[in-house]
Structure 1
C-alpha cells in the first residue's frame, strides 16, 4: 500500500527543512491534536500513540542530506516506512511530500487507509507552522 500526502511548500531552505525533520523530537510538533503519547526513545527513535490506536515506534532508517528522510517501523507486527521527500524550489522555498509505504493484507489495508492518509496529511499541514 502506498499513500502520499499533498505536497506542501515551506518558506525554508532544503537544509533547514532536512535538519528539522532529522531531529526525531521535532515530530512531536507535527503530530495531530488527538495524540495521546509521544516519547523520544533514542536519538533516532520515537514512540507515539493516537487516541484509540496502538503505540507505534518509528526509527530513522535513512537520511540523504537535504533531500530525503526515511522512518521505518521499529518493532511490532507491521512493517512500513514513512518517507519525507524534500525538494528545494528556490533558495528559501522547499516542497515536502510524505509517502507511507507498507505491505498489508486487504482487510488491514482497508481499515488503516483512511486514518493513515489523514495522519500524513496532518503531518505535512503542521510543517507550515512548525518548521
Structure 2
C-alpha cells in the first residue's frame, strides 16, 4: 500500500471543517484546475481529469467531527481510499489531514505517485484557503 499524506491547521472550529468536508458539493472548491465536468450530491461526485479519465467518488463513511472516508464510485484500475481526519486543536483551530492510500504496482506507482502527492497537498491547501 502506498500512502500520501498532507495536513494543515485551519482557523475554524472542527464542526465547521467537518461540515464542509462531509458534503461532496463543497469538494469542487478543493480540486485542481484540470478537473472539469463536475457533478455532485452530498454523497457522490463525478468529474473528468483533463486528458485522462472520468472518475466517480463516493463518501463511504462519516464519523461526526472526526473523519470522512471517500472511495471510488465505479471500477478503477487499483484500490484507492481518501481519508480526511479532523482534530480540534483548541483556540478555534482544526488540524485537517488528508491521507490517500492506494494499492499500486511498480509501474502504476511510477506514474501515479507524483500526481497523488500533489493532489493531497493541493486539497489541504485549498481547504485552508477556502475556509480562512
**Normalization by structure 1: what TM-score?**
0.92
**Number of aligned positions between the proteins:** 129
Question: For 1:66-113, what per-residue CA distance to the aligned partner results, in whole angstroms no more than 9, with x for missing partners?
Answer: 111100111122321100011110141001110001212111111100
Residue in structure 1 matched with residue 64 of structure 2 by the alignment: 65
Equivalent position SS for 1:59: strand
Q: Is the 8 A contact 2:9 2:95 kept in 1?
A: yes
Matched, 1:117 2:117: yes
RMSD of the alignment, in Å?
1.2
Query: How far apart, in 2, do the equivalents of 1:117 and 1:37 lie?
Result: 23
Cα distance in 1 for residues equivalent to 2:27 and 2:82: 12
Task: Work out the CA distance in 2 between the residues paired with 1:12 and 1:126.
Answer: 14
Q: List alignment gaps of at least 5 residues for structure 2.
A: none
User: Separation in 1 of the partners of 2:61 and 2:37?
Assistant: 24
The gaps in structure 1 that reach 5 residues or longer are none
